[in-house]
Structure 1
Amino acid sequence: MALPADQRKSILKVLMTSLLLDLISFTFILPLFPSLLTFYRNQDPSPSSLLNRVFHYLNAYKNVFAKPIDSRYDIVLLGGALGSLFSFLQALAAPFIGRLSDKYGRRTALLCSMLGNTLSVALWVAATDFRTFLASRIVGGLSEGNVQLANAIATDISDPSQRGSTMALVGACFSIAFTFGPALGAALSNITTVAQNPFATTAGVSLFLIVVESLYIYLRLPETHPRLTRLQHAQPTDPSSVNKGQKMDGEAATTPSHKEHTNNPALLNLVHFLFLLPFSGLEFSLPFLTATFYVGSQASPSALNGRLLSMMGLIASLLQGTVVRRLPPLVTVRAGVVACTVSFFLLARVSSLPGLYSAGALLAITSATVVTGLNSLGSFEAQEGERGAVLGRLRSWGQVGRAAGPLLFCSVFWWVGREIAYTTGGVVMLTVCVVVFTTLKSPPIPPAGQKT
């Protein structure tokens, strides 16, 4: 029997509220990287400082390219390197966090993750030097598990017919946070409360949100793992499954039954990696691309970046709240990879702001669909006792692509130029389209309320 509607609605409300708090707090820092790194560089201009040693290696990397890279991009490149480090650490931690949630429960794993997040932001509040700031990013990368655990909880409380719409709500939280969080973080950075750390106000508000979120989860979120809770979950219709170790009373199976996969999790992991490899590189390259529109002009590329990202976030959140949650997950994945492919080829030749905004609208469709759809497809391939691990591995492979994509794409961007870089990305995305359209299948989804 499916989870009662009122119980599911209550858990979903807590889940979405806590995830919004987490993601808004997380996005505060995104527009501040250039200012943060400039501040830390000025704090300790010594050539032997950690930050300047990093810049030394960065310049050595830049010098291998045939065309010189303007020094004004140093901070942007370093910010991207820190983002790649964060994603790489998440790739390492995601499978462990997933297994932790399968063994000890989603709520326990989420609260452990929140302890790490709290320590990470507290280090940022105290970061008057680059070394402490770097430590905060490392701790944050290793402990950030809210998104994958939200997907696992959404799977726990949803029957197959509800799965896609619930995952879309998780994606909508992303879009809403990325629409408003960076702007709020930038506004808070203009308020100085600690002279030694001009970003302490932003960090302090971020810490406040994390603490509120932790308390809210502790007080309001029940355990949702079927093995560890009395919540009523979907039961198998095949009586023979009892003989294979699955108990009809909702208790854990003593011996897990064999799972016939519609889409092998290894294939979904590969698709997630192949998609995010070029897509994350494209995302990171947008500041460089928009800068080319204002060569010799006094206009601010940062302002254009802000408007472009806000537009993309708004479109993505509207799509996830309306269209995406009503479509089968495979349809959303296919629509997203096609939109991304067209965007790559458009960006290879775009020379006007309308063209740039058109490509941005296509990327918004991609942001609203692909990862949400892959998470939904992945959730169908995991049995109750392994959902955390399966979704953790799916996220881990995606984060590997997100860590490597900016480095590889920007290397091509600076080595051979914009047109070849984006065309190459488009060809890679065409390959992803072929894989998605020829190998992925839509899982059988019974009507709402039907036993599975």
Structure 2
Amino acid sequence: MPIALAAVLIDTIGFGIIMPIFPQLITQLGHIDLEQATRVAGYMLVVFSVMQFFAGPVLGNLSDRFGRRPILMTSMLCFGIDYALMAWAPTLAWLFLGRAIAGTAGAVYGPAGSVIADVTPPEKRGAAFGLIGFAFGVGFILGPAIGGVLAQFGSRAPFMAAAALALINAVTMYFLMPETLKPENRREFHLRDAHVIGAFRPLFHAGNAAPLLLAWFLWQLGHMVYPATWSFWAAIKFGWDAKAIGWSLAFVGVIMACVQGGLTGPVIKRFGERKAIVFGMISAATAFYLFAFATAGWQAYVLMAISAFQGFVFPSFNGLLSRMVDAKHQGALQGGIGSMGSVSSILGPLLLTQALASGVDHGFAGANFLLAAVLATAALAIVVWKVLDRVPGKPTSPVSP
């Protein structure tokens, strides 16, 4: 499990390292202003997410067939090559190509989540999935901080650092990581099932799965406001440079790591996944509404602390869903979850970056967070109305399709 979590950590560090310098790099290569760069960045996230949408179920099903270890190693190798490629990108087209490769390799969350499902009893998976969020949070502590520091050596230096980290992780996996998928739990790979519908087919028997998935999708769509617009919003709203943006993202990583690593397990154990989801969504929606009307940089830090409890949402949702399928389909499920997240990553940047740019055109730089707040509120309403009393709060035996 630690090495699988390291894959998530390295992925997040790599993503976080480049966030502070992305606005600068896009404006330089494209010879465009910051507002135009916001839209270009949104298109790049769409390319990344489209590739991840298709790759997620494929990698998840492959991990059910061949095991988690080879898939994770391959993903890390591809990441290393990709970031090295982006370090030498001479045009925006090369950056788009790099984002496409990263999207394909970036479906690492499916196999990593499957490792946790392989080695964790069903009743403890909600808390265990919080470790993915913890790794993500630590990555956001280190990544943006490193990126902000390395930015002084040029806009390409963070990419080289990310490439080196990914390759080191691949070597570590080769020598130290055991396989977690037992031979009796492996199944044949069928390309016809390696898509998002096939990934969720084992859930179709559960009547409460559809509203649960819809609520999660809407919440993820709103949550994309951070990776899609934060760097540009902070630069436009507060005039922050790459270093200031890097430290703000590092602060997010600190509070995420504290919540995911220290609070998620005890909260889920004490109150259950359902109440943890509701509390996390209330936290997110409240912060989004207030971000939209923030007027000073210090307010952003206060709101980041308020929003930290949204870290309960992902592991709670994942824990509920993982108990609905058997051991042979955990990889497919995690790949499908990643693929669903990719759909939100396709639509989210398109909606949220355009909302930010349009809002700026009309003198309101908070339109992106206002839209995110509406989406988070809709997700919360579905959970309270359709899901809260229907999803089992206590662990149940997974059902084979």
Per the normalisation by structure 1, the TM-score is 0.73
Q: Work out which of the residue numbers 301, 312, 322 in structure 1 matches 2:252.
A: 312
Cα 1:219/1:182, change in 2 over 3 Å: same
Q: Work out which of the residue numbers 426, 435, 446 in structure 1 matches 2:382.
A: 435
- The answer (yes or no) to whether the contact 2:236–2:365 under 8 Å persists in 1 is no
Partner of 1:74: 36
Q: CA deviation at 1:171?
A: 0.8
Q: CA deviation at 1:174?
A: 0.2
Partner of 2:135: 173
- The answer (yes or no) to whether the contact 1:312–1:363 under 8 Å persists in 2 is no
- The answer (yes or no) to whether the contact 2:7–2:112 under 8 Å persists in 1 is no
Partner of 1:38: 27
Q: Work out which of the residue numbers 140, 147, 150 in structure 1 matches 2:112.
A: 150
Compare the two structures and name the one with the higher helix fraction.
2
**AA aligned opposite 2:161:** V
**AA aligned opposite 2:160:** G
1:367-378 equivalences under 5 Å are: 368-378=311-321
- The CA RMSD measured in Å over matched residues stands at 3.0
**Can you list the C-alpha shifts for 1:244-286, whole angstroms capped at 9, x where unaligned?**
xxxxxxxxxxxx999964842x444322221121221365344
Identity percentage of aligned residues: 24
Partner of 2:330: 387
CA distance in 2, matches of 1:288, 1:204: 23
CA distance in 2, matches of 1:35, 1:424: 26
**AA aligned opposite 1:95:** P
CA distance in 2, matches of 1:436, 1:262: 14
1:389-408 equivalences under 5 Å are: 389-408=332-351
1:74-93 equivalences under 5 Å are: 74-93=36-55
Partner of 2:273: 329
Q: Work out which of the residue numbers 281, 291, 298 in structure 1 matches 2:225.
A: 281
Partner of 2:307: 363
Q: CA deviation at 1:446?
A: 7.4
Q: CA deviation at 1:99?
A: 1.1
Cα 1:149/1:443, change in 2 over 3 Å: farther
CA distance in 2, matches of 1:309, 1:125: 22
Secondary structure (helix, strand or coil) at the match of 2:153 reads coil
* Matching of residue 215 in structure 1 with residue 171 in structure 2: yes
Cα 1:37/1:347, change in 2 over 3 Å: closer
* Matching of residue 26 in structure 1 with residue 15 in structure 2: yes
**AA aligned opposite 2:21:** L
- The answer (yes or no) to whether the contact 2:60–2:111 under 8 Å persists in 1 is yes
1:110-125 equivalences under 5 Å are: 110-125=72-87
**AA aligned opposite 2:382:** V
* Matching of residue 187 in structure 1 with residue 149 in structure 2: yes
CA distance in 1, matches of 2:103, 2:203: 34
1:334-349 equivalences under 5 Å are: 334-349=278-293
CA distance in 1, matches of 2:58, 2:254: 33
**AA aligned opposite 2:395:** I
Q: Work out which of the residue numbers 234, 237, 240 in structure 2 matches 1:300.
A: 240
Cα 1:190/1:347, change in 2 over 3 Å: closer
CA distance in 2, matches of 1:422, 1:19: 26
Moved more, 433-442 or 15-24: 15-24
Q: CA deviation at 1:35?
A: 2.5
Cα 1:406/1:281, change in 2 over 3 Å: farther
CA distance in 1, matches of 2:373, 2:108: 31
* Matching of residue 16 in structure 1 with residue 5 in structure 2: yes
Cα 1:421/1:310, change in 2 over 3 Å: closer
Task: State which structure, 1 or 2, has the greater radius of gyration over its C-alpha atoms.
Answer: 1
- The answer (yes or no) to whether the contact 1:281–1:407 under 8 Å persists in 2 is no
Partner of 1:130: 92
Q: CA deviation at 1:342?
A: 1.2
**Can you list the C-alpha shifts for 1:389-437, whole angstroms capped at 9, x where unaligned?**
1121112112211221132134344157456664454333222112112
- The answer (yes or no) to whether the contact 2:128–2:315 under 8 Å persists in 1 is no
* Matching of residue 409 in structure 1 with residue 349 in structure 2: no
In structure 1, list runs of 5 or more residues that go unmatched: 1-11, 43-54, 56-70, 193-197, 231-255, 448-452
Partner of 1:450: none
Matched length? 372
Moved more, 333-342 or 278-287: 278-287
Q: CA deviation at 1:217?
A: 1.1
Q: CA deviation at 1:85?
A: 2.0
Secondary structure (helix, strand or coil) at the match of 1:350 reads coil
- The answer (yes or no) to whether the contact 1:175–1:316 under 8 Å persists in 2 is yes
**AA aligned opposite 2:379:** V
CA distance in 2, matches of 1:257, 1:89: 24
- The answer (yes or no) to whether the contact 2:86–2:95 under 8 Å persists in 1 is yes
Q: CA deviation at 1:301?
A: 5.5
Cα 1:209/1:315, change in 2 over 3 Å: same
Q: CA deviation at 1:207?
A: 2.0
Cα 1:339/1:110, change in 2 over 3 Å: same
- The answer (yes or no) to whether the contact 1:347–1:422 under 8 Å persists in 2 is yes
Q: CA deviation at 1:304?
A: 4.8
Per the normalisation by structure 2, the TM-score is 0.82
- The answer (yes or no) to whether the contact 1:105–1:228 under 8 Å persists in 2 is no
Secondary structure (helix, strand or coil) at the match of 1:127 reads coil
Cα 1:226/1:126, change in 2 over 3 Å: same
**AA aligned opposite 1:14:** I
Q: CA deviation at 1:150?
A: 0.9
Cα 1:258/1:331, change in 2 over 3 Å: closer
Secondary structure (helix, strand or coil) at the match of 1:300 reads coil
Cα 1:443/1:290, change in 2 over 3 Å: same
